[in-house]
Structure formats: structure tokens, C-alpha cells
Amino acid sequence: MKLPVTVLAASLIQIVTTGEAIAGSSNADQTKPNFILIVADDLGFADLSLNGSKQIPTPHIDRLAQEGVNFTQGYVSSPVCAPSRAGLMTGKNQVRFGFDNNLTPENQPGFDPDFKGLPLSEKTIADLLKPLGYVSGLVGKWHLGYATHHHPLNRGFDEFWGYQGGGHDYFRSEPDGVGYLSPIESNYKTPQPITYLTDDKGDECVDFIRRHKDQPFFLFASFNAPHGPMQATEDDLELFKHIENVRRRTYCAMVHRLDVNVGRIMETLKEEGLEENTLVVFISDNGGPCNQNASINAPLNGQKGILLEGGIRVPFIMKYKGQLPEGKTIHHPVISLDFAPTFLELAGRRLVEEDDFDGVNLMPYLTGQVKEAPHENLFWRFTISAAIRDGDWKLVRLPDRLPMLYNLAKDISEQNDVALLNLGRTLNMLKQLGEWDVTLPHPLFFEGAEWKKRQVDLYDREYQLIQPD
């Protein structure tokens, strides 16, 4: 990755002025910031009161934005869980190392745990922070491989409380269970029986912060709410009893409980005096799967699994008290690939070309040291589709139809395909996308034929909605 001179200069200024890389300082570790990455699972863009929801009050997540920076055009690198998490964990677009799709569940025929997972060639945020004196903990969902060599404890994490799969029952597990009933794993305690999984994860996040408050830490708070199965507590369901649709009612209750536990994490930081030395990030791993969990992505079109905005544009918030402006809204596109380089430079290590990140350190842009947008363009590839964002323009490519072009500044809902009205731009963006695409390796693994058919059906249904008569 070739870094702009302005970014390098701003990064050097930031490191020197914050004192995070001063050699020989006896309290150097104490001045390193902590990092908390809170990831929701399948959260709809419009299902925060911050983004206009009138059904689900989310005061704690809203407060993160009020006291930090809210990104209205925050993206993830994939519209489904596992590849999205592979990207945000490495700072690299996951298709560059062949992680193109979700992992086949461990209880499905043909599952090959040794082969399917985050390649060992790639380093996680936890790997990168370890030499800088950080302790790293993962609470919750992993979904980046089931084999021993893919296990989070072998991918840089010092502590793990959670499960390796892509989802879990919220009320129970079984000692010999698989899939959503798999046992909870922990390397530092005997896992307690599940009460309600979102609350249990909140408990573990609070405990991790308190146990490691005297050393720099990275906490990956990997929630599975509001991913299925659709399960909520009776008390939370009572709060939303006025909603007639049972699935929507349950979804709202699940998001409410997620918000409560975000609040518990933030309150613990305040109680332990860590609020001014901790960068907190909140994001969803992809857009809401509206047909499955009754989420809402409006005004964005599309949903989880496709490259319309509803699949890849997500709530995206950063708070770092005293270091980032409060209540600021950023309209430039950013992406989850930016987390790794941002954390790494804040921790005191300069970015070098060998890091080969696709993301950038966002701090110079957020503090005003660099004025231009963080990204000139962004790229995606998923199953049969690919997309490019260049300024306000976005092009989506599918194999069985003409490319589609949208001006997101005028058409956030991607209702008006203007490809034929802007042929020069269409051809130029299609060429950029193709030149990027041919540099990518063949995917390391695929889902089964049945899943692929479902995916094609989803594309046909979603994209047909926006085709001209």
C-alpha cells in the first residue's frame, strides 16, 4: 500500500504529539489507548433511533454517536458475516486472499475444517497488537474457521469466551452440541450456563475490561444479536407487545437488549476511568436480512447477501473521548478495513508498505490534519456480483445483465439506473472494476449448490425490483 505523503506526515505528528511511541518511557504502555470493537450481527441500517427508527429506542448506541463520530456512509467489505469479519479483522479486502464467502456450517455434509477459514498467511488485529504489549480478548462469535489452526487463541487472541460458528441459540447449549447448540468455550474460566446470550456476552465484556484495566487491551465484543434464531426474553418482548408482527416484535426486543449491553460496556469504561483512553467502534457486520429477521434498511435498497447499499452500508460509529470531536457527522465513505490500520498507528507503530492494508488510518482525517476523503474508491466482490464506488457514483456488475450505475448523492435508494445515460463513466468504472477483479485469486472455498441457488434467486428477486419496465 502506497501511503500519501500527507497521511504519513499527519500520522507522524499524531504519534509524536500523543506520546504513544516515545522510546524508553516507563509508563509507555499506560499511554497506549485501549480498543473496543463492538460488532452487531445482521442489524438493519434503519433500526437505530439514531437512524430514524421510531420503534426501537437505542439510547446507548445513539450516545456513542452523540459523543463521538457518526459515519453516514460506513461500509463493510462483504454483505455476509464471515468474509466481512475476515476483512475487518485483517484490514485487507478478504477476496484478495480468497475468503469470498461464508463457511459451510460444521454439521453440514462435505465440511472440511482444515481448509475453510482465515488463511494462516493473514494477521489479525490481535496478532498485530500483541508485539505492542496488548492483551486481546474475543467475546462471542468467531466464524473464521473451526480447525485448531484457525481457532482465535491461535490467531492472536489471549482470551476467548464464545463459539466458533456463525450463530448460536440465545438460551441454551449442549455439551456435545453442534451448530447453534454448540457448547460455549472459554480458556480462562468454566463457562457459566447461558441465561440470555446477549446479556452473558455483556457480562464477559464488563469482566474483561475490569480484569485488564491496568494494561492496554483490545476487546472484540462480537455479538450475534439480532442474527437468528429469533429469540428474546419475555420482559423485552413485553416492551414491544404493541407490534403485531411476531418476528418484528422479537427483532425489536433483540436490538433493545443489544443496546442495553452496549450501555453496560460504556458505563464500565467510565467507572474504571478508561473513557478517555479507549477508542470504541460500533458497526454491524452487514446489512439486515429483511426477509429473515424482519430488519429494516430503509432508505437503502437491498439486504444482506447482495451489493446494493442495504447489504453493505451499515451503522458505523467511533468514539474516543478527548481525541475525536464530539457529535461530528462524516459523510465521506469509510470502510471496516480501516479499523486495523487505525488501531495499529494509535498503538504506536507506523504503517509501512509491507502491511499491504486496503484500509487507512482514519485519525488524521477525523482530526482535520488531512482534508481530503479517506478513499478515492472502494471495491467489492461477492458470489456472482461485483461493485465499485467512485466518489458519489456506484456501479454494480452482474453476469446476466448490463452493468447498473447509480449516483448515490441523488439516489440513495438506488432506484434509477443511469448507466446508459452516462456511458463514458459506466465504461470507465467497469474497466476499473475489471482490472481489480483480475488481480484476485480464485476463491479458496465455496458454499454448496443449494446455497448458491438461493443466492442467485435472491439476486434475481432484489435486482428485478429496480429494473425499468
**Catalytically active residues, by annotation:** 81, 143
8 Å CB contact between 302 and 289? no
Q: What is the largest CA-CA distance in the chain?
A: 69
Task: Kindly tell me the sign of the dihedral angle through the C-alpha atoms of 301, 79, 164, 32.
Answer: negative
Helix (H, G, I), strand (E, B) or coil at 378: strand
Could you give the CA distance from residue 64 to residue 50 in angstroms, rounded to a whole number?
10
DSSP letters, 394-451, are EEEE-TTS--EEEETTT-TT-----TTT-HHHHHHHHHHHHHHHTTSPPPS----HHH
Contacts of 237 (CB under 8 A, 6+ apart): 249, 250, 253
User: Which of 89, 77, 71, 37 shows the shortest CA–CA distance to 223?
Assistant: 37
Measured between alpha carbons, how far is 159 from 197 in angstroms, rounded to an integer? 18
Residues in the chain: 469
* CA–CA gap between residue 126 and residue 90 (Å, rounded): 9
CB atoms < 10 A from the CB of 149, how many? 12
